[in-house]
Amino acid sequence: MPVAALMEKVAGKLSDRIVQLYPACKVGILVGSGHNGGDALVVARELHFRGYEVQVFSPFSRFKDLTATHLQYAKSLGIPCVEDLQSCDLIIDGLFGFGLTREIEDPILSLIHQVNTWQIPLISIDLPSGLETDTGRALGTAIRATHTLCLGLWKLGLLQEPALEFVGKAELIDFDIPLADIFAILGESPQNQRVTSTWAMSALPLERPASTHKYKMGHLLLICGSERYAGGALLTGLGGRASGVGMLSIAVPNSLKPMLSSHLPEALVIGCPETESGAIAQLDLDLTAFDAIACGPGLTLEAADIVRQVLDSDRPLVLDADGLNALAKLGAETLKTRQAATILTPHLGEFKRLFPNADLTCRATAVRAAAAATTAIVLLKGARIAIANPEGELRINPESTPALARGGSGDVLTGLLGGLLAQQIAAQSQISLLDMTQTAAWWHAQAGILAVETRTELGVDAHTLTQFLIPSIAAHQKN
């Protein structure tokens, strides 16, 4: 499609959306030298015709040809070029799109700093100017947008954590890129994908076979807790319970058994001999009896030998928290010799301990490298969970809530993921481990989002979170 026609089409769609979001007002357009600036100028023209009071400002004196032509035409229509947009009710940011290739310098650096102090609603075209398209890092600085209208296909950077403080509400403006063209370039199963609700829901074992029994619905073993971190064991258990797993066994230090049994009456709580400081000292269990194991929350490093025992087993495994810290001491690459699937769920600190040489400039790349180096599925926790498998496929969960930034929230995820894993193994399901892992991450986040509706962002402690897991699925099932 001719570039000029593409720009016309895209900017028409952008204008329609801007009219919906901010009906008639005084609008200031920031124009860059490239085609992002060209888009902005077509938007300026369209809004002018729709009765908006439009002003244009560009810090550049040279433009790409198409952009220069649009600038000339906008001027011929009487749209004023001004030096300051502070009196506007809305700003459209068309300074840079995916063509930003280097650090921003003055005078544009100062301009962006200034715009960010204005407190005027701001819509960025394609991505907030200043963000690097793939990593989502600010190259020197970046526009803080109220809305980002991303064009055509999601830019990876918008889904990465560093971009979060800049993008505001992000939405996609579809402009009919033919699927065949996308497949021709990215393949039929593009390596980087954004998790959607429909996709995540499709991996849930929501319809149980009519003639099933508890052992067919998965047997999960949780190994967690210590005297010091008793709550971690409980939260992991509650996460496991919500997964719908058929049988839940929980191995904890002996002294924790009464507490767990009283809160999780349906679980089989296995009291283990403990060390002087109350960590699990010994695990006398036939691990082959379980479909999957989730190990780590609250163990302390005193239980490192238990982690080694679990790693040596041939059971599919979710490893979290102190399980990861123990693995870091053994070396993450030892996972390569494991005989069964492993899913690692580190937060950033644990990730750095496991992979001390990782380059975290681009988290997506770092997670992918970690999965390749360990042959495990690696789920990096954070505001935007990124998950990769050893084959290089990457998934990012785009919707979450800062309410989940809270102690114990990760333990819930471990239990939930373990429960889904056990069910998947028991059912010999065709759902891939990667799909199942992304479903757990999505589910966890959706429960948090639902909880915020009635509890506010302050009220989603990890225990409360577990009570929203099932209602969040029920709400999606109704839709």
Ligand X SMILES: NC(=O)C1=CN([C@@H]2O[C@H](COP(=O)(O)OP(=O)(O)OC[C@H]3O[C@@H](n4cnc5c(N)ncnc54)[C@H](O)[C@@H]3O)[C@@H](O)[C@H]2O)[C@@H](O)CC1
| Residues at the site binding ligand X, with contacts judged by CB under 6 A | 6-7, 10, 32-39, 64, 96-104, 108, 125-126, 151
Longest dimension (CA), the chain: 84
Residue 354 DSSP SS3: helix
Q: Report the C-alpha gap between 74 and 94 in whole angstroms.
A: 15
- The DSSP annotation for 124-181 comes to EESS-TTB-TTT--BSS-----SEEEEESS--GGGGSGGGHHHH-EEEEE-----HHH
Pairing of strands 377-380, 386-388: antiparallel
Q: Which does 124 bind (CB under 5 to 8 A by kind): ligand X, K ion, none?
A: K ion
Distance CA 348, CA 378 (A): 12
Closest CA to 246 of 471, 473, 426: 426
364 binds, among K ion, ligand X, none (CB under 5 to 8 A by kind): none
Q: Distance between CA 304 and CA 39 in Å, rounded?
A: 57
CB of 133 to ligand X, least distance (A): 8
For the chain, how many residues are written?
A: 479
Which of 27, 62, 36, 11 minimizes the C-alpha distance to 131? 36
Shorter beta-carbon distance to ligand X: residue 30 or 324 = 30
**From the list K ion, ligand X, none, partner contacted by residue 93 (C-beta under 5 to 8 A by kind):** K ion
Alpha carbon distance, N-terminus to C-terminus of the chain: 37
State which of residues 15, 33, 55, 129 lies at the interface with K ion (CB under 5 A). Answer: 129
Q: Is 148 in the site for K ion (CB under 5 A)?
A: no
**Residue 39 near which of ligand X, K ion, none (CB within 5-8 Å, type-dependent):** ligand X
User: Given candidates 15, 33, 124, 236, which one binds K ion under the rule CB under 5 A?
Assistant: 124
Q: Is 347 annotated as a binding residue?
A: yes
Question: Of 105 and 314, which CB lies nearer to K ion in the complex structure?
Answer: 105
Q: Report, in angstroms and rounded to the nearest whole number, the Rg of the chain calculated over CA atoms.
A: 26
Over the window 76 to 115, marking each residue x when it contacts K ion by CB under 5 A and - when it does not, the resulting string is -----------------x----------------------
Interface with K ion, residue 248, by CB under 5 A: no
Q: Which is nearer to K ion, 90 or 125 (CB)?
A: 125
Give the footprint of K ion on residues 329-348 (CB under 5 A): none
132 is an interface residue for K ion by CB under 5 A: no
Q: Which is nearer to ligand X, 6 or 360 (CB)?
A: 6
Residue with tokens 């149980």: 208
- Do 274 and 233 form a contact (C-beta atoms < 8 A)? no
Pairing mode of beta strands 268-272, 247-253: parallel
Nearer to ligand X, 101 or 479 (CB): 101
Q: How far is the CB of 7 from K ion (least distance, A)?
A: 14
Nearest residue (CB) to ligand X, 126 versus 227? 126
Closer residue to ligand X, CB minimum distance, 94 or 162: 94
For the CB of residue 148, give the shortest distance to ligand X in the complex, in Å: 11
Q: Which residue's beta carbon is nearest to the bound K ion?
A: 129
* Amino acid symbol at 99: G
- Contact positions vs K ion (CB under 5 A): 93, 124-125, 129
Binding residues for AMP: 410
